Amino acid sequence: MSPTASDRPGPGPTPPAPAAPAYLDAATLARLIDAPRAVDVLARALAAGEVDPEDDTPRLFAPARAGAEFLMMPSAGRSTAGVKVLTLTPGNPRAGHPTVQGLYILFDADTMAPVALVEAAELTLIRTSATTVMAARHLLAAKRHPAGEAPERPTTDLPTATARRVVVFGTGPQARRHISCLTAVLAPEDIAVAGRRPEAVEAVAAQARADGAPARPARGDVAAEVAAADLVICVTSSPTPLFDGAAVADDAVVCAVGVHGPGKRELPADLILRSDLVVEGRASAMRESGNLLAARTAQQWAEDPRPLANLADLAAGRFTPRPGCPAVFSGVGMAWEDLVLVTHAHHQYRRSRPAP
């Protein structure tokens, strides 16, 4: 006997509609994760082994109109996954628009449901400066101790360091944000700002002073400023080296994060070859770091008996600098950095919301 309509199983309960993703605009994101916290969150995630830069997904580029390009940066973690979708439009500043624009989409790792949308230009400013300053803090702390004399410390303890004299190359939004971040974390006594256009240099230095940073335009011979610096930070779009590598002191730290792509570099080959090196991830550096690839081929780097250290090595205390050598951090930007910071910010956002 055939079952009647009433005997047939129904479709089951209707699943609840997913909650609308939260939207974190630039002001909300900046409130949820300030510069010192962003630096610490990245360092703790690396030191605890929560992320491995070598497991990160390569980012994807595609051409857009009028010389612009799309950039997509996916990454997956233990509890969340995410993708940043950006447009990079080099000609925008001349028309009064930002170069970098886009959104970050955060997903729950179990259901892959979107849980947050985040303004990506502010996120990029936060994560790039935080990554640079985190690397600088660890390198400066490591260089205080000769090889083999680094103090034992739990990996969850974060180092402390200061940079007395700093030179920042660049006058764009990233230069401004790096000055703010390093001032909050490294407490420098003097920051010299260097750039191609004196009026832009003065504007950046003046704004930084208004915000409490000890900033000024670089004086006269930039090589002399570099020679006197404990820390040099490069955040430019220059396709060619910014200074003579011989000017860098043997005990200095240099961080170059302004460009990506094998055909662009901010640092000269002689500086790369005489320095202790740290990269965000070895694989990403061999794809995109012109600073390294102009000095040696990827095959030559792979054959070097001193393997490149990555940020996980640095944060976990597995990097020991050699006496008498500068230390260089060369970064190109990686997706895991965005995921770590957005996950933290979203957690803070949920904690701050009133219970329903």
* 198: three-class secondary structure by DSSP: helix
Q: Is residue 3 part of a domain?
A: no
Instruction: Tell me, yes or no, whether 97 and 139 share the same domain.
Output: no
User: How far apart, in whole angstroms, are the C-alpha atoms of residue 187 and residue 165?
Assistant: 10
Instruction: Tell me, yes or no, whether 70 and 138 share the same domain.
Output: no
Instruction: Tell me, yes or no, whether 166 and 297 share the same domain.
Output: yes
Q: Is residue 11 part of a domain?
A: no
Confirm if 24 and 280 have CB atoms less than 8 A apart.
no
DSSP 289: B
The pTM of this model reads 0.90
Confirm if 43 and 138 have CB atoms less than 8 A apart.
yes
Instruction: Tell me, yes or no, whether 276 and 328 share the same domain.
Output: yes
User: How far apart, in whole angstroms, are the C-alpha atoms of residue 351 and residue 160?
Assistant: 29
Backbone φ, ψ for residue 331 (5° rounding):
-120, 150
Which burial class, exposed, middle or buried, applies to 155 when counting CB atoms under 10 A from its CB (0-12, 13-18, 19+)?
Answer: middle
> What CATH number corresponds to the domain at position 345?
3.30.1780.10
Q: Among 106-115, 147-156, 240-249, which is the least confidently predicted range?
A: 147-156
Instruction: Tell me, yes or no, whether 341 and 317 share the same domain.
Output: no
pLDDT band at 83 (very low <50, low <70, confident <90, very high): very high
pLDDT for 151 beyond 50 = no
Residue 91 confidence (pLDDT): 87
> What CATH number corresponds to the domain at position 229?
3.40.50.720
Query: 64-71 contacts: CB < 8 A, separation 24 or more?
Result: 64/89, 66/91, 67/91, 71/102
Instruction: Tell me, yes or no, whether 114 and 140 share the same domain.
Output: no
Instruction: Tell me, yes or no, whether 304 and 176 share the same domain.
Output: yes
Confirm if 344 and 300 have CB atoms less than 8 A apart.
no
Instruction: Tell me, yes or no, whether 162 and 37 share the same domain.
Output: no
pLDDT band at 8 (very low <50, low <70, confident <90, very high): low
Number of domains in the chain: 2
Instruction: For residue 80, list its beta bridge partners.
Output: 108
Question: In the chain, what's the furthest Cα-to-Cα distance?
Answer: 98
Domain region containing 111 = 22-123+336-352
Smallest CA-to-CA distance from 30 within 127, 114, 154, 104 is with 127
- Three-state secondary structure of 70-108: EEEEEEECCCEEEEEEEEECCCHHHHCCCCEEEEEEEEE
pLDDT band at 17 (very low <50, low <70, confident <90, very high): low
pLDDT digits (tens, 9 = 90+) for 220-239: 889 999 999 999 999 999 99
